[in-house]
Amino acid sequence: MKESTLIYLGGTIIVLLLLTTVVSTVSNSKNKRNLNEEKLKNESLASQKLQVSQELDKAKNDITSLTTEKETTEKAMAKTESNLAEVEKRIGSLSKENSSLIKDRNELAQLQKTKADLDNAYEDLRLKHETALSKIRDLENSAIVLDTDKKNLSGDLAKSEMYRTDNIEIYGSRGNKKDKLTFCASRTKKINLNFDVPQNLTETISFKIITPSNTTITPEDKSLTWTFGQDTQNLTASLSSLTGEFDLSRKVVLTYTPKEKLKGGEYKIQILSNDKNIGNCRLLLK
């Protein structure tokens, strides 16, 4: 009889260990998938930021080139105006002369043709000048838009890196002195959640627990408590693969100690900060 009891107890322990291993494996897999999704999102934001920076630099170079072209055009226009003034002065002088009219007629005709050519050249230069000014205004407007996009992307990237969680660990325990792990709802006295957040995340962190019966437990419930550990000295790599930065993290410990026995099923926990969902995890109790 004793041997049967021992065999039964041993079998039960082995089953619990197998369940613990399976649930931990599933939870770790989901945490890794969530972290990979965050990495892809931040890499996309960083890539967009780099592309906008390159476009902004090109727009600034084009503005410099067109400004130089505008100055050259203005000098040519000034020189053409000076030549026109001299031709018109000469035409006026010839028109007033009464003598040698036939002799000067050919010169007058040539000067009038030269004036017409200069007028056409001046008009072409004026059109080029106006076109250059228009392009400069368009490029300046594009540069302003690109600079704004760059700042917005930088802000989005910074927020994405600040509002994140890492090293999430969730488990049920019996709540006794040894606080043994359990996945049996009737034996679970506490649900424990540990995770890390960036040290520079100073905004309020909040939680929601949705029970199998679809009841929502909010921070106002006294059965829900959490503490912030000391800032850890472990360096955590930034999610942005382009920045190569490292951040210090701090640990958050959440404990849910219900007054009534827990029911079997899935318990969903949402981690919130500044009305943003920065993490999700699940615990399945039998």
Distance CA 143, CA 185 (A): 61
Percent of the chain with pLDDT over 90: 0
Hey, how many other C-beta atoms are within 10 angstroms of the C-beta on 66? 19
**pLDDT category, 218, cuts 50, 70, 90?**
confident
Say how far apart CA 209 and CA 232 lie, in whole Å: 27
Non-local (6+) Cβ contacts of 133 within 8 A are 70
More confident residue, 147 or 6: 147
Residues of the chain with CATH 2.60.40.10: 166-285
Q: Does domain 166-285 have CATH number 2.40.50.220?
A: no
Bridge partners, 283 (sequence order): 267
Q: Which amino acid is at 219?
A: P
> What mean pLDDT comes out for the span 12-35?
67
160 Cβ neighbours under 8 A, 6+ residues apart: 38, 41, 42, 45, 239
The mean pLDDT value of the chain amounts to 76
Q: Please state which of the ranges 29-33, 72-76, 275-279 shows the lowest mean pLDDT.
A: 29-33
Class of domain 48-161: mainly alpha
The answer to which of 16-20, 112-116, 186-190, 258-262 has the lowest mean pLDDT is 16-20
Whether the pLDDT of residue 102 is over 80: the answer is no
Give the burial class of 104: count Cβ atoms within 10 A of its Cβ; 0-12 exposed, 13-18 middle, 19 or more buried. Answer: middle
Q: Where in the chain is the domain with CATH 1.10.287.1490?
A: 48-161
Confidence of residue 78 (pLDDT cuts 50, 70, 90): confident
CA distance linking residue 284 with residue 286, whole number of Å: 7
